[in-house]
Amino acid sequence: MIYECREKPDILVKEKVALVLLSYNSRTYLERFLPFVLKTDYSDYRLIIVDNASTDDTLEFLQKEYPQIDILHIDVNHGFTNGFVESLACIKAKYYALLTSDVEVSSQWLTPLVEAMDKDEKLGACQPKIKAYKERDSFEYAGASGGFMDTFGYMFCRGRIFDYVEKDKGQYDDPIDVFWASGAVFLLRSEVYHRIGGFDNDYFAHMEEIDLCWRIQRAGYGIKAIPKSEVYHVGGSVILYGSTEKTYYNYRNNLLMLTKHLPYGRLIWMIPWRLFLDLVSGFQALISGRAKEMGAILKAHAHFWGSLGKYLRKRKKIYSQVPYRELKGIYSRSIVWQFFVRRKKTYSDLPGRLSKGE
């Protein structure tokens, strides 16, 4: 059945899990990966594919090859984040399993995630171990085995720091509290999602899941990585890795997110430091012949200052009962210093890596 999002349908999922797969011009990925999704051995779920205004023949392909699958169609593509914002406003279920179209799942992927949520009512979201589709013995950039944030607001993963990606040798197979779960694939407690206001549409793409996880923690719920669940991610299907567009959104959205969440006492000294560190990064790109990357960083900062007032106002709307110092998954040192100066390339090499925020 095809639902039109503009009609704001009320899709009541009787199953415990609404498996929401976001697709945009994804026929190639759906042909390759949808059969794996349909082999999921956890039975108490309903699959809904959200078509985010595809311009290829994705819809025709789905209707012909998979007429039994429900489709929620969005008329106009207002970004990756908006695809989930609009669709989740129409879908009611206990849990949302959010999945992008470029993920290959195993048959057992969903069960450990649901079991973790069922076991702990204060768990707001969890993610599987995410490995690279093309290099299957390596972690994948976008989530690896759980996400963290350092004292300057830079994000990294257990299994990936900056562009250094580790091989998976079972070193991070323990379930652990993290700061953020990857937007490529994660399980959400729907009641918490709606209570905190859902995804922030202003992000368009990139870091919207980190902002969401930050608000989940501030509302008193945890985020975990559950490596017993394992998937493979292609990556770069929304915005290509290494593109200036990706650089722009990463830098802009990170600064906006810090402005939205950090205590004023930290924000006042953090922003000048970030301006300095980001400009150093841009200058390094410039002298390396990547002038467009420098331009993307400058554009991100210009737009950040233009949106500063709006994001300062957003601070007042956040439901918060957990102070910054009690949030989990914050690395109390500088990941930039550890990685570039001390040459600590892996998560397991980081001193004090499980520290909370200060």
- Please state the rounded mean pLDDT for residues 215-223: 98
What is the rounded (10 degree) CA torsion for 14, 19, 43, 223? -100
Element (DSSP H or E) covering residue 210: helix 208-218
pLDDT of 123 > 70? The answer is yes
pLDDT of residue 319: 82
Poorest-confidence range of 150-159, 170-179, 290-299, 311-320? 311-320
Domains of the chain: 1-101 (3.90.550.10)
CB atoms within 10 A of CB 283: 12
CA–CA distance from 248 to each of 83, 163, 193 (Å)?
20, 17, 27
Answer whether residue 18 shows pLDDT above 50. yes
Q: What is the mean pLDDT of residues 72-80?
A: 94
**pLDDT value, residue 239:** 64
Tell me the two tokens of residue 261: 């969440």
Query: For residue 240, is pLDDT > 90?
Result: no
Residue 342 is predicted with a pLDDT of: 97
**Mean pLDDT, the chain, whole residue set:** 95
Please give the structure tokens belonging to residue 97.
Answer: 């399993």
Q: What percent of the chain has pLDDT over 70?
A: 97
Predicted TM-score (pTM) of this structure? 0.95
Give the model's pLDDT for residue 214.
98
Q: Can you tell me the mean pLDDT for 184-191?
A: 98
Q: Return the pLDDT at 205.
A: 85
193/173 Cα distance (integer angstroms): 27
- The pLDDT of 77-85, averaged and rounded, is 94
- Work out the pLDDT band at 49, boundaries 50, 70, 90: very high
CB neighbours of 333 closer than 8 A, spacing ≥ 6?
150, 151, 350, 351, 352, 355
- Model confidence band, residue 355 (pLDDT cutoffs 50, 70, 90): very low
pLDDT for 243:
86
Give pLDDT, residue 353. Answer: 58
Q: What confidence tier does 356 reach under pLDDT thresholds 50, 70, 90?
A: very low
Q: What pLDDT digit, counting tens, does each position of 5-14 carry? A: 999 999 999 9
Q: Identify the CA nearest to 19 among candidates 100, 86, 75, 73.
A: 100
Q: What's the rounded Cα separation, in Å, for the pair 73 and 52?
A: 6
Read off the pLDDT of residues 288-326 as tens digits, 9 standing for 90 and up: 999 999 999 999 999 999 999 999 999 988 988 999 999
What would the pLDDT profile of 259-288 be if each residue is shown by its tens digit?
Answer: 999 999 999 999 999 999 999 999 999 999
The answer to whether the beta carbons of residues 92 and 182 sit under 8 Å apart is no
Structure tokens at 276: 């300095």
Q: What is the pLDDT of residue 316?
A: 87
Mean pLDDT of 134-138: 97
| Residue with the two structure tokens 């990585």 | 225
Q: What is the pLDDT of residues 327-343, one digit of tens each?
A: 999 999 999 999 999 99
Contacts (Cβ under 8 Å, ≥6 apart) of 51? 23, 24, 58, 59, 62, 71, 72, 73, 74
